């Protein structure tokens, strides 16, 4: 159902069990959204300096962030039938996810989560972005947060 191409460009070694949990979270997201074709995601762990550079370049924000998502398709969730039908190749490339491992560690500590839990949440959040969800507007944010909670099993 999901092929993940991992790239660790951070100084932090990622344990295989963490990657399994992250991948499971992404698969749960696809299942929740009823995506029934094999998909591929490019997934990179990067340093604070690299994510800051990417954030500045692509979002005009000169600051460190936890995660960036680069969708292959605009509004996939509302156009999935035509995107899947028009794409003869599988797995279907959804896009790229870039996570700053140091920022994720800091947030995990701040929120009282494990690093695995934080990375899983960021992965769910990012896959939803790849599928066309956003949180710029209040109503969009409400929908996205509700879906994240459902997938993560939060009340």
Annotated binding-site residue numbers for Zn(2+): 125, 129, 135
Interatomic CA distance for residues 25 and 152, integer angstroms:
8
Closest CA to 121 of 10, 1, 28, 6: 28
Structural contact between residues 121 and 24, judged by C-beta atoms closer than 8 angstroms:
no
What is the C-alpha separation between 138 and 64, in angstroms, rounded? 23
Q: Which residues are annotated as a binding site?
A: 125, 129, 135
Chain centroid to Cα 72, Å, comes to: 13
Contact indicator for 29, 124 with CB cutoff of 8 Å? yes
């Amino acid at each position: 159902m999901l092929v993940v191409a991992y790239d660790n460009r951070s100084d932090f070694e990622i344990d295989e069990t963490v990657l399994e949990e992250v991948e499971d979270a992404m698969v749960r997201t696809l299942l929740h959204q009823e995506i029934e074709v094999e998909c591929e995601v490019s997934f990179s762990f990067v340093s604070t300096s690299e994510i800051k550079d990417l954030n500045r370049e692509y979002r005009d924000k000169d600051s460190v962030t936890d995660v960036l998502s680069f969708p292959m398709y605009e509004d996939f969730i509302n156009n999935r039938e035509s995107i899947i039908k028009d794409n003869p190749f599988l797995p279907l490339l959804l896009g790229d996810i870039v996570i700053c491992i140091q920022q994720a560690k800091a947030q995990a500590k701040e929120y009282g989560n494990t690093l695995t839990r934080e990375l899983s949440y960021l992965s769910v959040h990012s896959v939803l972005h790849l599928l066309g969800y956003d949180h710029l507007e209040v109503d969009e944010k409400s929908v996205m947060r509700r879906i994240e909670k459902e997938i993560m099993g939060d009340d």
